[in-house]
Structures are given as structure tokens and as C-alpha cells.
Amino acid sequence: MTFAIDVRGINKRFGDKHVVRDLALQVRKGEIFGFLGPNGSGKTTSIRMLCGLLTPDSGAGTCLGFDVLNESVEIKKLVGYMTQKFSLWDDLTIAENLDFVARMFGMRDRKQAVAQALEELGLTGRQHQLAGTLSGGWKQRLALASCLLHRPQLLLLDEPTAGVDPKARRDFWEEIHRLSAAGITILVSTHYMDEAERCHRLAYIAYGNLLVSGTSAEIAAAQNLNTWVVSGTDVQRHAEALRQLPGAEQVTTFGTTLHVSGKDAARLGFEIEQYSREHELLVEQGTPTLEDAFIHLMRDARDQFED
């Protein structure tokens, strides 16, 4: 099976709201596939439909070899789902939580499965600690362990690192890549650009529409942007003036610099060089980032539910 997921023409409505429109997507087995987009854009709804957790209104395709419209029960048996909000029990210990989840799955060898999950996720030393006393990073690790108990072929992670510290995020992504190398396919929604770049491929969804998909480099290159990095004393006060330059399509703050981007390289290059000389700013041509690309994509995206 080349593709873990292969769908086309997927649609979903809630009442009069068309939240996902004609989604077509292919995800390879063992791939880490990221979903980005603004809040309310249809990311989670799309992922849930791909994994059998929500039935599409129309469309066709397969997930793990099963029909996404008619065989969702079979798909769900092979999926691990980690929600954005911690959804286990605060008044149970780590081991008790995992045992309870194993019982819900009806696992006959649950003691062995729990012990293995504790070992693999580095939770053995804390197994008797109440879940409610854990930090965000340890709760995240426990949630992931519970998703892996039944040995799923597909993992669905909905903004899994929201609210955890940088070290916990890094450790989490190391674990995700280990699971991917073992052949598990992973769908992850995130708002972090550095996490998006850790995915093998990405899809950007805005208000129900798939705008672009590919590797981070392919997506950045596809926007045909040219970016200049402007720095200098109190550079932020020049942002509005730079936005008015002919050829400037977007100006974004990155730390102590401004990224000025546009598609007309010759025109914008001339204007920005001239402006920088007149105002004693430093300017150098940079490489458009993934964040530059997504800001550019959002310029033309419109929320169909906006009054």
C-alpha cells in the first residue's frame, strides 16, 4: 500500500456552513503530514474525516485500505487520537490511566501493554504519580502513551504541543520521528512554523479550502516571493513606510528585523535599496521562509462565515 490515505472530493457541512470543500489529499505510509491554517479553518474536521472519526458528506477514497465513507468502524480500530486538551483522568495515576484505556480497548494483554507503554515513553519512574500533578510536558507524554497502547497504524495529533516548554516540544518531536521510522503514519495540526518544518509534507487549509500542499521548501518556493531583510536602529518605525513601497506585498516583523516581500524582484529591490540608503538602514536579500509563504497565502483567504 503506497498511500496510507488517498482521498478526493471530500466535503463536510454543519448546517448551512460548508466547512471542508472538495478536499483531495494523499499521505504516504510512515509519513509525518502536517496541517496548518487559521483557527476555524477546517483542519481538525479534515483530519477527523480522513481517519474515520467523522463521516464525510460526499467524496471518495481510502484510509489504511478501508473506504472512508463506509468502513469508518474498521479505520477507527487502527487510529490513535491525541486531543489538544488533556482528556485523561487527573485523579488516577499514570499507570491507572493507561490500564483504564487498555480496558476500554478490550485488550487481553493489557498489563504487558501498559508496562511496555510506560517503558517506551519514559514513564516507568512516575507510574504511581497522579496525572493531575503532572506538568504539561509529562501530561503530553502520558496522552501519547495512551494513544499507542493498541498499536495503531495511524496517529492523529491535534495541536499536541500547545502549552508545553521548548524542551518538551523537542523531545516530543523526537518521539514522533521515531514512530514514523517504525512505519506509523502521523497527521498533526500545528500553529508553530518550526514544527511544520519538522513534517515530511504539509497542507495549508484556510476556511475549508486546501490552498497548497507539499514539502516546506516546495510551498515556500511556489509563492514566487522575493524577500529582503531590513535591520537598523528602531527599524520597526519604518514598517508602514516600507509597506507603501511599489512592489511591496507584505512587511513582517522578525525579532529586530523586518521581512519585506513581493513578487516583482527588480522593482521592489530597487525601491528598498533606495529607501534603506536614505534612512541609513541595512538591507540584504534573504530566502523566503515558510512563515513568509503562509502570511502571503492568508492575504487572499477569506472567512466565508464572517458577517
E strand map for 39-170:
58-63, 66-67, 79-82, 154-158
pLDDT, position 169: 85
Max distance between CA atoms of the chain, in angstroms, equals 75
The sheet with strand 257-262 has its strands ordered as: 250-254, 257-262, 226-231, 282-286
Distances (CA, A) of 90 to 97, 127, 132, 160: 9, 13, 4, 18
The residue with greater pLDDT, 216 or 306, is: 216
- The domains of the chain, with CATH numbers, are 1-78+152-168+185-223 (3.40.50.300), 89-151 (no CATH), 224-287 (3.30.70.120)
For residue 5, the cross-strand partners are: 27, 63
Residue 91 exposed, middle or buried by CB count within 10 Å (0-12, 13-18, 19+): exposed
What is the DSSP annotation of 201-248?
A: EEEEEETTEEEEEE-HHHHHHHTT-EEEEEE-TTGGGGHHHHHTSTT-
| pLDDT value at 1 more than 60 | no
End-to-end CA distance of the chain: 45
Residue 96 exposed, middle or buried by CB count within 10 Å (0-12, 13-18, 19+): middle
| pLDDT value at 164 more than 80 | no
Confidence tier at 306 by pLDDT (50, 70, 90): low
Nearest to 101 by CA among 147, 49, 168: 147
Q: For residue 135, give the 3-state DSSP assignment.
A: coil
pLDDT in tens, 88-136: 899 999 999 999 999 988 888 889 999 999 998 889 999 999 999 998 8
pLDDT, position 303: 61
Confidence tier at 296 by pLDDT (50, 70, 90): confident
Assess contact for 37 and 298: CB atoms under 8 A: no
Nearest to 158 by CA among 53, 78, 7, 60: 53
What is the DSSP annotation of 97-114?
A: HHHHHHHHTT-TTHHHHH
pLDDT in tens, 237-289: 999 999 999 999 999 998 899 999 999 999 999 999 999 999 999 999 998 88
pLDDT, position 300: 66
Q: Cell triple for residue 117?
A: 507503554
Instruction: Output the pTM of the full model.
Output: 0.86
One-letter amino acid at 303 equals D
